[in-house]
Structure formats: C-alpha cells, structure tokens
C-alpha cells in the first residue's frame, strides 16, 4: 500500500442541482435487475430504527429504495456506482442520507427528512467504477469518502446537516475499489471514524480518525475480488468478497487485534456479482450484510439471536 500522501486537487463543481441528475418520478415499471458491477447500500430506516433500509441502482442508473418488504420506491437520479447510505445517531428525529457517483463522475447527495430532497451536486471526480462511502457520528455531521481519479482516498464533510460542506481533503493511499466507512461506537472517542479500502495488493487496508488526527494505513490482509471493496458495520464487522467469489468476514478480537478471515457459514443461493457488499448495525444491535447477485437480485442476512452465523439469506428482489 502506498502510504505517501498526495495533495493533487480534485476538480470541483458548484453545489447546485444539476438537470441531468434531476429527480425522476416513480416509474410504473422497473428494470428487474441491479446495474452490473454495483452492489446495494444499507442504512437504519427513516421509518423505524429497528428496520433496515436497502438501496440499489437499476440498469438505467435510477436509485431505488426498499425496506425489504418487496416494494421498491424510485429516488430518481442517474447513478453510475453503488450507492452509500447513512442514518444519524443521537438525533431527535430520523434522518437518512444517500450518496452516489453521477453520470458526470461527480458526487451526488440526497436526504430524507420528512420527505426526500432533490439531488445535490457535491463536486469532485470519483474514479470510474467506484462509489462513495459515508458515515455519521452525530446529528448534523456527515463524512463522505471516495476514490479520486488519482487513486487516493478523498474526504469531504459537513457539520451543519449539509448547509455547507468542506473542500476535498486527500488522505493518500492507493485504492482499487470503492471504500467503506463507519463511525465506531467502541472507538477511543465518540468521534472515531474507521475507513477500509482495497489496496493495490488486493488486501484490505484500514485508516482511522481518533478524534484529533488520522492514523497511518494498516494492512488487514485478505484478498478481495477485483473491482470489489469492503463493507463494514458500526460494530466493525468487516465483510469482503474473496477471489473465490465467497463472502469473508473479520471483526475485532481485543484491543487493536483482529480475528482471522473466515468464510460465512451460509451463502446466498445465487452467485455474487462482481460488486462490493454492504453492511450496517441497527439500533437493536442487529448486524446485517447485503449483496447483489449475478441475476440482479439483492440478498441480505441479519445477525441476531435467530440467525447467529449469517446463515439465513432472504431476497429483497430487484429494483
């Protein structure tokens, strides 16, 4: 992994609504499959913090949302990547934010707060074939991470619900797929941000914010399938698609140590597409993992008392 920090600038675009990414009204019919090379996103639902929301992009680039009840709702847009989604902790109301790479390569953002907003252009240029990662460690705070066109990890954030955003900050490294990020509830401070990426050697690399500074890069090993990135939940359950096409898992053991990589006890009944998985922990302490299959369906498994080994998989269908 190249630890050298780079300060190359990313092309910025004004934070404006863009007509090519305007909200599309809910379609009467759907494509029936996710866009090739894209995976789902997961977030705690805006309707109930015990429910998990799922997001996916269809073959036309439209972003869709479901609560795994079989009904997909169109959020419009023209996405070219897997989406990222996040809910706010410690908020007095339910809020959900969604991010994608637009057809012009820039980062786009949409949020739910008593209804869905339009799509907003946050600028930047994401590497082709990659999508963003997002996390939140407090109400009004959002951190977004992308792979820039130079292969480095770039970071953008807001502290006021998106009324204003920071510029782009380079965190260095050499990425080869979409990143993953989370606010770690077990971190050294309430502001501990954890970011995971696929490095140029195919392994998982970790970088974290300890409340005052960013760490160096740490190699967590493993070998990820080409073009796929990791997924991580708030309790630091880490998931990847291995070079064998199977899901692999890793989690903290004690202190700064991690468990060894192991395959999940069960697998979806359909082969995984070449796309990053997704993961989330809801406020009922249930950890979920989700994938897209080669047939275009979204599959999910939720770790709880009835499914302690991620062995049971359910299809959410396709957008």
Res 179 pLDDT > 60: yes
In a domain, 3, yes or no: no
Task: Indicate the SS3 state at residue 53.
Answer: strand
Give the tens place of pLDDT for each residue, 136-155.
Answer: 988 999 999 999 999 999 99
In a domain, 7, yes or no: no
Which of these, 68, 33, 63, 99, lies nearest to 286 by C-alpha position? 68
Phi and psi, residue 194, nearest 5°:
-115, 130
Q: What is the token pair recorded at 167?
A: 């510029």
Q: What is the token pair recorded at 61?
A: 């680039």
In a domain, 4, yes or no: no
Phi and psi, residue 305, nearest 5°:
-60, -30
In a domain, 9, yes or no: no
Exposed, middle or buried: residue 295 (CB in 10 Å: 0-12, 13-18, 19+)? Answer: middle
Contact 6, 153 (CB under 8 A): no
The CA dihedral of 224, 248, 221, 147, to the nearest 10 degrees, is 40
Q: What is the token pair recorded at 189?
A: 């401070």
In a domain, 38, yes or no: yes
Beta bridge partners of 157: 143
CATH of the domain at 219: 2.120.10.70
Task: Indicate the SS3 state at residue 133.
Answer: strand
Percent of the chain with pLDDT over 70: 84
What's the chain's average pLDDT? Answer: 86
Distance, in Å, from the CA atom of 197 to the CA atom of 205, rounded to the nearest integer, reads 5
Exposed, middle or buried: residue 100 (CB in 10 Å: 0-12, 13-18, 19+)? Answer: buried
What are the angstrom distances between the C-alpha of 89 and each of 60, 93, 99, 165, 228?
33, 10, 18, 19, 28
Task: Indicate the SS3 state at residue 20.
Answer: helix
In a domain, 47, yes or no: yes
- Domain span at residue 126? 19-317
Which of the four pLDDT bands, split at 50, 70 and 90, describes residue 309?
confident
Q: Left (φ > 0), alpha (ψ -120 to 50) or beta: where does 68 sit?
A: left
Q: What is the token pair recorded at 299?
A: 């599959």
Give the tens place of pLDDT for each residue, 243-265.
Answer: 999 999 999 887 668 999 999 98
Which of the four pLDDT bands, split at 50, 70 and 90, describes residue 46?
low
In a domain, 8, yes or no: no
Quote the pTM value.
0.88
Task: Count Cα atoms within 13 angstroms, Cβ side, for 172.
Answer: 15
Beta bridge partners of 199: 175
Q: Tell me what pLDDT residue 24 has.
A: 32
Q: Left (φ > 0), alpha (ψ -120 to 50) or beta: where does 224 sit?
A: beta
In a domain, 2, yes or no: no
Angle at CA of residue 137, ends 251 and 53, nearest 5°: 75
Number of structural domains found in the chain: 1
Q: What is the token pair recorded at 260?
A: 């060894």
């Amino acid at each position: 992994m190249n630890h050298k920090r780079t300060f190359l600038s990313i092309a910025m675009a004004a934070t404006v609504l863009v007509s090519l990414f305007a909200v599309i009204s809910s379609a009467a019919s759907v494509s029936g499959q996710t866009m090739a090379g894209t995976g789902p996103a997961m977030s705690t639902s805006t309707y109930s913090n015990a429910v998990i929301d799922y997001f996916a992009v269809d073959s036309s680039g439209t972003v869709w949302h479901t609560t795994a009840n079989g009904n997909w709702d169109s959020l419009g847009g023209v996405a070219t990547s897997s989406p990222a989604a996040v809910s706010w902790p410690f908020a007095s109301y339910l809020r959900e934010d969604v991010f994608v790479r637009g057809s012009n390569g820039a980062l786009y953002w949409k949020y739910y707060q008593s209804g869905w907003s339009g799509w907003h252009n946050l600028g930047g240029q994401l590497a082709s074939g990659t999508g963003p990662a997002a996390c939140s460690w407090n109400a009004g705070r959002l951190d977004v991470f992308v792979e820039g066109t130079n292969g480095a990890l770039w970071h953008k954030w807001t502290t006021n619900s998106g009324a204003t955003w920071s510029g782009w900050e380079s965190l260095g490294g050499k990425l080869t797929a979409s990143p993953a990020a989370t606010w770690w509830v077990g971190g050294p401070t309430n502001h501990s941000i954890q970011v995971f990426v696929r490095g140029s050697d195919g392994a998982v690399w970790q970088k974290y914010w300890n409340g005052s500074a960013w760490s160096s890069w740490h190699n967590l090993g493993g070998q990820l399938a080409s073009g796929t990135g990791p997924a991580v939940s708030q309790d630091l359950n880490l998931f990847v698609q291995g070079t064998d096409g199977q899901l692999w898992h890793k989690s903290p053991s004690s202190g700064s140590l991690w468990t060894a990589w192991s395959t999940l006890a069960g697998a979806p009944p359909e082969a995984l597409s070449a796309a990053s998985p997704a993961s989330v922990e809801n406020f009922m302490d249930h950890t979920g993992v989700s994938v897209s299959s080669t047939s275009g369906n979204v599959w999910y498994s939720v770790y709880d008392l009835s499914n302690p080994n991620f062995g049971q998989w359910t299809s959410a269908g396709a957008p």
